[in-house]
Amino acid sequence: MSDERRLAAGYAKHVFFCTNQRADGRRSCGGCGAGEAFEHARRQLAGLRAQGVRVDASGCLGQCEHGPVLVIYPESRWFGYRDVAEAETILRRHVLDVD
């Protein structure tokens, strides 16, 4: 028997919200409302986990100058957004396929 351990995540879509907060005062996603957008998305999409959608906060994604940002996998689609409403619109279009 092999010692290999396989994980079957089974997510059709995995969304990461950068919530990085820079300590030196430079622009960062965490300083631009990313935490609020992440929490809102998590509440809105919580029931979809069983349908293959997962939403997570992440550390720095290296795009703070465009922030706040989120990325949707497996497509590797990156988005900057201005507020919670715009983040929700992105998720509706690119995760839920609803306009």
- The verdict on residue 1 lying in a domain is no
Where are any strands of DSSP class E within the chain?
13-18, 53-58, 69-73, 77-80
Angstrom distance (rounded) from CA 90 to CA 99: 9
- The verdict on residue 12 lying in a domain is no
Domain limits for position 66: 21-94
- The verdict on residue 7 lying in a domain is no
Tokens 């919670």 — which residue? 84
- The verdict on residue 49 lying in a domain is yes
- The verdict on residue 13 lying in a domain is no
Looking at the structure of the chain, the number of domains it has is 1
Side by side, which strands form the sheet with 77-80?
Answer: 53-58, 13-18, 69-73, 77-80
Q: What are the pLDDT tens digits along the chain (99 aa)?
A: 444 544 446 788 999 999 999 888 888 999 999 999 999 999 988 876 657 889 999 999 999 888 799 999 999 999 999 999 999 999 999 998 876
Question: Residues 93, 82: contact at Cβ < 8 Å?
Answer: no
The CB density around residue 23, as the number of other CB atoms within 10 Å, is 6
- The verdict on residue 4 lying in a domain is no
Look at residue 52 in the predicted model and tell me its pLDDT: 85
Look at residue 7 in the predicted model and tell me its pLDDT: 46
- The verdict on residue 47 lying in a domain is yes
